Amino acid sequence: MTLEAMDVEIKRVGAQGDGVADTAAGPVFIPFTLPGERVLAQGTGARARLEQILQESADRVSPVCQHFTVCGGCAVQHMSPDFYGAWKRDSVVSAFKSRAIDADVAPLFVPQGLRRRAVLTAIRNDAAVEIGFHQAQSHDLVDLIECPVLHPRIVSALPGLRGLLKPLLAKRSEARVTVTMTEAGLDIAIGELEKPLTLQLRSELAKHAADLGIARVSVDGDPVYTALSPFLRFGTIEVPIPPGAFIQAVAEAATEMARLVVEGIGKSKKIADLFAGVGAFSFPVAARAKVLAVDSDKAAIAALADGVRKGSGIKPVTTLVRDLFREPLSALELNEHDAVVFDPPRAGAEAQSKMIAKSKVKTVVAVSCNPATLARDARILIDGGYTMGVVTPIDQFHYTPHIECVTVFKR
């Protein structure tokens, strides 16, 4: 395929961080560019590859990582802090405008901490194991030497992880590796192995993990080695963490979201925490109100229930395993509660929002990692009689298009 060369001016930045040039053939998306820049690019259709910057924007800064533009983990290290903050906030404003909602969006909250959880890919080649993120729009891997968005404890563990994974990987095979910083130490969850986990491999893995000082290593959910049981603290409660469990990636972001949730429920006494996971919001809320925690993940709910049994000084917390996409809580079930908190995956909570809109619940606190689906769900709630408060955007995934939001709805 012959790539078309083009000399274009970048007019704006799209939702995924690519610069957009308006051409006679339609908009063309060119990564790593900024409004006002004149660039040479090559491509076909709606996407092109940046070849040269002919006229540079004053908002361009030097990237903070040697892997930038190759690694697919970060998309916008070239933006100045002011431009970056405005772009992220504007992406939230635009998402709500697309649903005819004039949202009051607060300034971007930028946590200072780094990610305590990373989902990486490991590949064994002829010589060694590579571990890192995939290249942008590619199956090729970037073998990480540095990473400014991951906690240094995770980055410093990567050389040891390469050695730990080598005997587990067949040549030219790969595995998914979730690394989580917990109060007990690093928790390593390995999945998608091609090799069978023999007794000899289990023994080698345990010895290597012990030498590296890792808290736990699991393979496809099976804890092969445990020195200390990994746990995190939510509010005042210590919660055991299942292998590979989803948690908020940045501790300071999680703390701010929990603060906004607790503030949002106000004096409500009975709370339904939907898509509750391991209880990041359930336990801070339970310091002042009774909680029903619901999630489809059996391991997460079991961990949450374990935290309830071992903890003290909180209001009663009950748990329920239920797929809220297929079987959302009905309006009748919701009416037993004063307030609802929901924090769904990127797909949002459309079915559940429709049930909330039919209920008599007075307060709803929405937490979302996707402004587009949050705006869709907000439209449902507003049409159902709710008024939406201030939307707080939280930059948990720095240098990426991803953004968390928290907002409160009232009847």
Indicate if the alpha-carbon torsion angle 335, 274, 398, 56 is positive or negative. Answer: negative
Q: Which DSSP helix (H) or strand (E) runs through 257? A: helix 251-265
Distance in angstroms (rounded) separating the CA atoms of residues 67 and 72 = 9
Residue 369 annotated to the active site: yes
Q: Which among 65, 74, 147, 369 is annotated as catalytic?
A: 369
Which contacts (CB < 8 Å, 24+ apart) does range 8-11 have?
A: 8/38, 8/39, 8/41, 9/36, 9/37, 9/38, 9/39, 10/34, 10/35, 10/36, 10/37, 10/38, 10/39, 10/57, 11/35
- Reduced to 3 states (helix: H, G, I; strand: E, B; else coil), residue 115 is strand
Is there a contact between 42 and 4 (Cβ–Cβ < 8 Å)? yes
End-to-end distance of the chain based on CA atoms, in angstroms?
57
Helices (H), 98-223: 152-165, 199-212
CA dist 248 and 232 (Å) reads 11
Distant-in-sequence, close-in-space partners of 369: CB < 8 Å, separation ≥ 6: 345, 346, 396, 402, 403, 404
| C-beta of residue 330 within 8 angstroms of C-beta of residue 355 | yes
Residue with tokens 């903070």: 64
Residues forming the active site: 369
